[in-house]
A and B are shown apart, each in its own frame.
Chain A
């Protein structure tokens, strides 16, 4: 045995109205077995209504080393938030 069984990331929709959420990973030879394994490992107690599996090596992720540059603009542009604007109390809830 030299070849490692591929790794798959598992996403589960807990119920309709919610989006799929990452919950862990499984090893499986192909997508059919990956779904089967995900069902056995992550939904033994009614945790979901729908499962997605994606090959882990197919995911492209942002670089944690560039976290500051990548996400800094959201912190400096405070005018993107509603609390930046002064509205008199008399106007009521807005």
Chain B
């Protein structure tokens, strides 16, 4: 569903000038880097961290929406939501497998998430209070994710780029189903319209924060851009998202909750009000409404599934031993 720029990656690297120049030349020729190719340690570390955060976001992102599966208003909505949440799980798995090509294990990543050491997108630490939130998440959160992920399809690291291509193909359904939900509410009774507006009011700013800190405060952006892990800056992507989304809200007759929002005729872009970065950092660092619940839910799912994983491995081992015994007997 989403990647939030990159939080706290250390892109410092210690290779020789010659090695780094040769690597940069490959990047500049738009050659893809594959897992076993020589690469600077900083490049590997940045990717492990970014792909890991991205994968965790997909997995944790299943929780706020999963909350509404049993309460979807119709069977059509329920089937679509189930399929969407299943997609998010799939996206997490594509990404974990891309990260694993860099030499980090799945268990290591899982442990870091459950221990609260790994970051994931701040957006999933907000609660889904009403059915309208399911629509708004599809529309805004998946919309922001698409803005972020389309350029990642051209990321210099092959496995990440390939995973992103699959993700982007599937993500478009997510945004459309979300917009359709909001549209239904916006065109419904006054109460339903209020519900849609309330949801937009709560999700607008957190959605803008999904693009990560402002360029002036984004320490690691520059190196990521040079290595072509990232193609556009956080602020550029945020601007694209606002320009695309404001007219969609207008079409629905909903009001974007930003009194300073105005269209600049000269630049052809919307100008937005100040983003509350204190809130952003508070939520990223664990102070959001749902941080504790999200990790507790993941931990419970992991612990409750332990017996299944153990049983499956024991069964596989038993079958292998039986096969071996049959072979020996035949000799």
A75 close to chain B: CB less than 8 A: no
CB-based contact B97/A26 at 8 Å: yes
Q: How many residues of A contact B (CB 8 A)?
A: 21
Query: What's the nearest-Cβ distance from chain A to residue B285, in Å?
Result: 29
* B37 partner residues in chain A, CB cutoff 8 A: 64
For A1, give the chain B residue with the smallest CB separation: B306
In whole angstroms, what is the CA distance A3 to B312 when docked?
Answer: 12
B93 at the interface (CB under 8 A from A): yes
Q: Determine if B97 and A24 form an interchain contact, defined as CB atoms under 8 angstroms apart.
A: yes
Cβ-defined contact, B312 with A30, below 8 A:
yes
Query: What residues of A have a CB within 8 angstroms of the CB of B106 in the complex?
Result: 4-5, 7, 27
Does A49 sit within 8 A of B, measured CB to CB? no
CA distance A53 to B79 in the complex (A): 29
> Is A81 part of the contact surface with B, judged by Cβ < 8 Å?
no
Question: Is B100 part of the contact surface with A, judged by Cβ < 8 Å?
Answer: yes
**Chain B nearest Cβ from A94, distance in angstroms:** 34
- Cβ contact of A29, chosen from B38, B107, B312, cutoff 8 A: B312
Complex Cα–Cα for A33 and B37 (A): 31
Is A41 close to B, CB under 8 A?
Answer: yes
Q: How far is the CA of A28 from the CA of B38 in the complex (A)?
A: 29
Q: Give the bracket for the number of chain B residues in contact with chain A.
A: 20 to 34
What is the CB-to-nearest-CB distance from B326 to chain A, in angstroms, rounded to a whole number? Answer: 16
The reply on A40 being an interface residue by CB < 8 A is yes
- Tell me, in angstroms, the Cα distance from A28 to B93 when the chains sit together: 12
Given contacts A44-B86, A44-B87, contact A3 B313 (CB under 8 A): yes
Kindly state whether residue B163 has any CB partner on chain A within 8 Å: yes
Task: Return chain B residues, CB-CB under 8 Å to A65.
Answer: 38
Cβ of A45 < 8 Å from any Cβ of B?
yes
Write out, one digit per residue, whether chain A residues 33-49 have a CB within 8 A of any chain B CB (1) or not (0).
10000001110110000
Cβ proximity bits B76-102 to A, threshold 8 Å, 1 near / 0 not: 000000010011001001100110100
**CA gap between A3 and B314 in the complex, in Å:** 11
Residues of B within 8 A of A7 (CB): 100, 106
Residues of B near A61 (CB, < 8 A) are 36
Question: What's the Cα separation between A4 and B110 when bound, in Å?
Answer: 12
Residues on the A chain within 8 Å of B86, using CB: 40, 44
Whether a CB of chain A sits under 8 angstroms from the CB of B13 is no
B313 x A29 contact (CB < 8 A): yes
The residues of B that contact A33 with a CB separation of less than 8 Å are 312, 316
Contacts of A42 in B (CB 8 A): 90
**Bound-complex Cα distance A28 to B242 (A):** 42
The answer to whether B97 touches A1, judged by C-beta atoms less than 8 angstroms apart, is no
B315, A30: Cβ atoms closer than 8 Å:
yes
A9-35 at interface with B (beta carbon < 8 Å): 24-30, 33
Q: Which residues of B contact A (CB under 8 A)?
A: 34, 36-38, 83, 86-87, 90, 93-94, 97-98, 100, 105-107, 162-163, 170, 306, 309-310, 312-313, 315-316, 319
User: Measuring CB to CB, which residues of chain A are less than 8 angstroms from any residue of chain B?
Assistant: 1, 3-5, 7, 24-30, 33, 40-42, 44-45, 61, 64-65
Given contacts A1-B306, A41-B94, 13 further A-B contacts (CB under 8 A): A4-B106, A4-B107, A5-B106, A24-B97, A25-B97, A25-B100, A28-B312, A29-B313, A44-B83, A44-B170, A64-B36, A64-B37, A64-B38
22 interchain pairs, CB-CB under 8 A: A1-B309, A3-B313, A4-B107, A5-B309, A5-B312, A7-B100, A24-B98, A24-B162, A24-B163, A27-B106, A29-B309, A30-B315, A30-B316, A30-B319, A33-B312, A40-B86, A40-B90, A44-B83, A44-B90, A44-B170, A45-B170, A64-B36
